[in-house]
């Protein structure tokens, strides 16, 4: 009789089903034809003994763990969680399960998380955003199929799935220009951050190009660097106001800073959009409930995740992935008005 507190083995299943251990192994691996009667007996024994296979032992034997490592940033972030949701949806009809790790936008932690996923012998890796160097990612890609999402890498164009951030920022800046604004401030991230996170850099460049195409030279006094968090949006607006350079609109590199900017403007008695128009980027779920509701650029986070899941499956099967470049959608609400 098997002690339920001890670890169930193949020999225990064989004894319970009254078959050989090799028959149990064939049933578990589905590697050979087994008589239906014996297969049913083995499956019944597995259920009664509550057998759980040793995943690591199976992966060593088969060379596959049937898992996909997903290195994300900031669990709880609406954008990144939307991508995770898409990955889950994209893997639903496959035999693979995702194994998640959080890099927390810290290169050291990202590296530890990446090493952990590799140690778990995942069959593929999806890296979402982050600041890990291209050199390290190239080394990982030489070991296991690798896909980078929401980040454009110059040296690995066939491993990247991303949004056209330049065009998206150009579009939203042009919308502000079309609404009559000429003095448009931009809240971005630090230069050091932009060097590793290409999407923010591309948004800054799209903003600059839209101004130049309208015959306006970008004014560095209207650009403030933050860290993409709400508090930095508050501080950035205070910095703008302290410079004494008039502005009629603010374009923030993400919605989080837009929320902070809105608070800072409110505290100063500056009305949105009557006095200053405010434009975000991301379309987080709370953007529609800001007062006034935030005009922003929507990133298709769930579709990004779904395509990422399909692409990594293609890569693991030795097929070139289909990697379309995504476009943002301008979401017009009530935080932008025509400049008078």
Contact predicate 161/307, CB 8 Å: yes
- What residues pair up with 326 in beta bridges, in sequence order? 163
Asked whether the predicted pLDDT for residue 3 surpasses 60, the reply is no
Copy the structure tokens of residue 184.
């448009």
Q: What angle do CA 176, 251, 131 make, to 5 degrees?
A: 140
Calculate Rg over the CA atoms of the chain.
26
Least confident of 82-86, 136-140, 187-191, 309-313: 187-191
DSSP string, 10-67: HHHHHHHHTS-HHHHHHHHHT-S---HHHHHHHHHHHHHHT----HHHHHHHHS--SE
CB atoms within 10 A of CB 127: 30
Average pLDDT over residues 157-181: 97
Distance of CA 1 to the CA centre of its chain: 50
More confident residue, 285 or 206: 206
Average pLDDT over residues 59-66: 60
Helix (H) or strand (E) holding 138: helix 134-141
| Beta-carbon contacts of residue 254 (< 8 Å; ≥ 6 apart) | 228, 280, 281, 282
Measured between alpha carbons, how far is 235 from 82 in angstroms, rounded to an integer?
A: 28
- Tell how strand 296-298 and strand 329-331 pair up: antiparallel
Least confident of 174-178, 225-229, 257-261, 278-282: 225-229
- At residue 55, the pLDDT reads 57
Measured between alpha carbons, how far is 278 from 301 in angstroms, rounded to an integer?
A: 22
Contact predicate 302/277, CB 8 Å: no
Least confident of 3-7, 47-51, 147-151: 3-7
**Tens of pLDDT along 191-217?**
766 666 688 999 999 999 999 999 999
**Tens of pLDDT along 94-120?**
889 999 999 988 889 999 999 999 988
Nearest Cα residue to 117 out of 102, 134, 106, 104: 102
Q: Give the three-state DSSP class for 223.
A: strand
Burial 171-199 (b: 16+ CB within 10 A, else e): bbbbbbbebebeebbbbbbeeebbebbbb
Asked whether the predicted pLDDT for residue 156 surpasses 70, the reply is yes
Average pLDDT over residues 261-269: 98
- At residue 1, the pLDDT reads 45
Average pLDDT over residues 26-52: 82
Measured between alpha carbons, how far is 236 from 78 in angstroms, rounded to an integer?
A: 22
Copy the structure tokens of residue 306.
């779904």
Measured between alpha carbons, how far is 290 from 338 in angstroms, rounded to an integer?
A: 19
Structural domains in the chain, CATH included, are 10-53 (1.10.260.40), 64-163+301-326 (3.40.50.2300), 165-298 (3.40.50.2300)
**Bond preceding residue 284 cis, omega within 30 of 0:** no
Q: Express as a percent the part of the chain with pLDDT over 70.
A: 91
- At residue 57, the pLDDT reads 52
């Amino acid at each position: 009789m098997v002690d339920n507190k001890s670890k169930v083995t193949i020999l225990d299943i064989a004894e319970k089903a009254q078959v050989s251990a090799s028959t149990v192994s064939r049933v578990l691996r589905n590697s050979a034809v087994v008589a239906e009667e014996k297969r049913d007996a083995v499956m019944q024994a597995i259920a009664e003994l509550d057998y759980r296979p040793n995943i690591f032992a199976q992966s060593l034997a088969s060379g596959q763990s049937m898992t996909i490592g997903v290195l994300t940033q900031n669990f709880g972030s609406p954008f990144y969680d939307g991508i995770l949701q898409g990955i889950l949806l994209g893997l639903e009809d496959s035999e693979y399960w995702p194994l998640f790790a959080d890099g927390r936008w810290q290169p050291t932690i990202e590296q530890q998380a990446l090493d952990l996923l590799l140690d778990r012998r995942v069959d593929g890796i999806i890296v979402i955003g982050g600041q890990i160097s291209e050199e390290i990612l190239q080394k990982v890609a030489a070991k296991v199929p690798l896909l980078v999402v929401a980040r454009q890498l110059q040296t690995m164009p066939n491993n990247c799935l991303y949004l056209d951030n330049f065009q998206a920022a150009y579009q939203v800046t042009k919308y502000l220009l079309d609404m009559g604004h000429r003095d448009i401030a931009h809240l971005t991230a630090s230069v050091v951050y932009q060097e590793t996170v290409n999407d923010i850099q591309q948004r800054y460049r799209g903003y600059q190009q839209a101004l130049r195409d309208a015959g306006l030279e970008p004014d560095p006094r209207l650009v403030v660097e933050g860290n993409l968090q709400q508090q930095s949006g508050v501080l950035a607006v205070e910095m703008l106001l302290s410079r004494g350079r008039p502005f009629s609109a603010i374009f923030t590199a993400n919605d989080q800073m837009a929320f902070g900017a809105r608070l800072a403007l409110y505290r100063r008695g500056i009305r949105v959009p009557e006095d200053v128009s405010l434009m975000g980027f991301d379309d987080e779920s709370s953007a529609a409930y800001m007062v006034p509701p935030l005009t922003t650029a929507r990133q298709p986070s769930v579709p990004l995740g779904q395509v990422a899941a399909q692409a990594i499956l293609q890569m693991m099967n030795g097929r070139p992935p289909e990697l379309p470049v995504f476009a943002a959608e301008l979401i017009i609400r009530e935080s932008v008005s025509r400049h008078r």
